[in-house]
Amino acid sequence: MPRTPAPDEPEDDLDDLPDTHPPQPVYYAEQALLGALLLEPHRLTDIAGIEPDSFSNYAHGALFAAMRALPAPDPDQHAQDTSWLDAVLTAAREHARGLTASYLHTLIQVCPWPRHASAYARMIETEHARRILRAHAERLSLTATDVTLPHPVPTTLAEADALARAVDDIAARFPSHSGSLPRTPAPAPMAALGDAEEAVDEERLLLATATAHPADVEQMRWLSTDDFTHSLHAGLWQCLTALTRRRAPVDPVTVLWEAQQRGLLVSGAEPAELLDLLSAPAGSAEYWGERILQRSVLTTAHRVGRRIEAFTDDPATAPFQLILGSRRALAELSAVRARWHHATSLAPTTTSTRTRATAPPRAGPPRTTAPPARISR
């Protein structure tokens, strides 16, 4: 099947090009709208919600801009001559030189019904909203994985805010509609961002340091088991928080016993190895906790961006589903974001048993001892 020519391509060369990217349905909606407006320019007053950049094809946008910039012709006069069409072509060619008079005639011929112009415009608006949302989601995903950023979390959250504003803008332009969430399958799960070995080391150091200084655990309720990359580490953090809430004694042996009661040892972890892990504190538990939470924020942001990208890539996803699905995904990021804000902005209400003067500076990872030997998995 021959490829449908774009209006700015030389027609003589089309037969030699492979049909690798056939036009999407919105391309034909754009052609139908432009054909309707070329036939009946007075219908421009009925078109709302789209701009020249709403078109997926640049030349189509240039034509639309030219039509809007020129005064609409008298209907009777327009039916008798092509002076308005000539003026539109001349104005549009200033921005899209490949446009030809023959393509304008093609647009007129392929328009099914000029009176359906508003419906064609709504199709174009829908696809434009989809492209906008995808661009924002893609920027969120890329920002979350950008290791060159000096302040990755604030920058990533700023992109999340921009994405949320885009969702709100789309919701304002499309009426609310009760319905189901998108049926698009979720992207394949991925590991936490960053260095996996570094993540495991930081989690082990947190557990050991918190075991040595359990008073710090009370001040770290902003850290969740979902933030850990290793399930055993998440379980051990649950053990620590449970012991501190019960005001029970906390040391490597009591944590090991709690881990046994919770069934953590059935995963293959050896008691002696757990004791070694819990007996090698280093630096500040709060520091390691913030490191773990930062990784969790960025991983969640990346996952949310990819999820919304998947929604936009599914042509069967309706606008109300895009809005509902995107807001549901962003709510997941809002939850971990609230914990990050709590961790980084709330001053501690109690003083640790250690003096803060002995705590390592927060600017760099304190390593007063070597990381404990790695646990068998």
Q: Which residue has the tokens 């993540």?
A: 199
**How far apart are alpha carbons 352 and 124 in whole angstroms?**
60
Q: Are residues 291 and 206 in the same domain?
A: yes
**How far apart are alpha carbons 337 and 140 in whole angstroms?**
14
Q: Are residues 76 and 171 in the same domain?
A: no
Q: What is the pLDDT of residue 345?
A: 85
The answer to whether 259 and 235 are in contact (CB under 8 A) is yes
**How far apart are alpha carbons 49 and 372 in whole angstroms?**
61
For 145, counting Cβ atoms within 10 Å of its Cβ (0-12 exposed, 13-18 middle, 19+ buried), the class is middle
**Ramachandran assignment for 198, one of left (phi > 0), alpha (psi -120 to 50 degrees), beta (any other):** alpha
The answer to whether 176 and 216 are in contact (CB under 8 A) is no
Q: Are residues 224 and 314 in the same domain?
A: no
Q: What is the pLDDT of residue 180?
A: 72
Burial 31-42 (b: 16+ CB within 10 A, else e): bbbbbbbbbbbe
Q: What is the pLDDT of residue 182?
A: 75
> Is residue 287 in a domain?
yes
Q: Are residues 243 and 291 in the same domain?
A: yes
**How far apart are alpha carbons 308 and 235 in whole angstroms?**
31
**How far apart are alpha carbons 139 and 162 in whole angstroms?**
10
**How far apart are alpha carbons 149 and 156 in whole angstroms?**
9
The answer to whether 377 and 196 are in contact (CB under 8 A) is no
**Ramachandran assignment for 136, one of left (phi > 0), alpha (psi -120 to 50 degrees), beta (any other):** alpha
pLDDT 10s digits, 205-228: 999 999 999 999 999 999 999 999
Amino acid at 123: M
Last residue of some domain: 112, 138, 172? Answer: 112
The answer to whether 34 and 64 are in contact (CB under 8 A) is yes
User: Among 195, 153, 205, 240, which residue's Cα sits nearest to residue 365?
Assistant: 205
Positive or negative: CA dihedral 368, 372, 374, 375: negative
Q: Are residues 20 and 77 in the same domain?
A: yes
Last residue of some domain: 90, 112, 134? Answer: 112
CATH code of the domain in which 74 resides? 1.10.860
Q: Are residues 245 and 351 in the same domain?
A: yes
**How far apart are alpha carbons 18 and 16 in whole angstroms?**
7
**DSSP codes, 219-242:** T-TT--GGG-SSHHHHHHHHHHHH
The angle, 0 to 180 degrees and rounded to 10, between the axes of the packed helices 25-39 and 117-144 is 140
Q: Are residues 134 and 170 in the same domain?
A: yes
**How far apart are alpha carbons 70 and 127 in whole angstroms?**
26
Cβ neighbors of 51 (< 8 A, separation 6 or more) are: none
Low-confidence spans in the chain with pLDDT less than 70: 1-20, 177-179, 188-194, 346-377
pLDDT 10s digits, 144-181: 999 999 999 999 999 999 999 999 999 999 877 666 77
- Domain with 289, as residue range(s), is 196-295+346-358
Q: Are residues 244 and 353 in the same domain?
A: yes
Collapsing DSSP to helix, strand or coil, 177 comes out as: coil
Q: Are residues 241 and 353 in the same domain?
A: yes
> Is residue 166 in a domain?
yes
User: Among 229, 240, 166, 218, which residue's Cα sits nearest to residue 195?
Assistant: 229
> Is residue 5 in a domain?
no
Long-range residue pairs from 258-265, CB within 8 A, at least 24 positions apart, any chain: 259/235, 262/235, 262/238, 264/232, 264/235, 264/236, 264/239
